[in-house]
Amino acid sequence: MTDTIFVTGLSIHARHGVMDHETEVGQRFVIDLELYTDLSEPSRSDRLVDTVSYADVVATTTSAFKNTNYKLLERAAGAVADAILSNFPRIRAVKITVHKPHAPIAAIFDDVGVMLTRSRHP
């Protein structure tokens, strides 16, 4: 059985991109997470120690996303996936969507970004 913990709309200012102004000024990114795990134990015990702390996941995500400036969203999302899987052994897989609402694209668009899924066992 796989259950899901999710965090949506996590807004983080970071300096990712290939253009100079992106790395100098930075911009807002929005991250959505789906964390796949077994929640049967905490659903019965009602104890935080039996699950994954949302606050800890957000802190880990923010740190992994902001602490290094990446050129590609793919790499930034991969860094978040790696950090989550290494810090939270209860999480079997993670799906990360990184939205870049102000991407330097000469077009009118609603959203652009990357979505990747990583698991402990491919």
- Tens digits of per-residue pLDDT, 75-97? 999 999 999 999 999 999 999 99
Q: Give the integer Cα–Cα distance in Å for 35 and 17.
A: 26
Tokens 């929640």 -> residue? 39
Tokens 């049967």 -> residue? 40
Which of 79, 81, 73, 64 is closest to 17 using CA atoms?
Answer: 73
Under the banding of pLDDT at 50, 70 and 90, the label for residue 1 is low
Number of domains in the chain: 1
- Which domain covers residue 77, as residue numbers? 3-119
The CATH number of residue 41's host domain is: 3.30.1130.10
Q: Does 103 have pLDDT greater than 90? A: no
Q: Which residues contact 38 (CB under 8 A, 6 or more apart)?
A: 1, 2, 3, 90, 92
100 catalytic, yes or no? yes
- For range 101-114, the mean pLDDT: 91
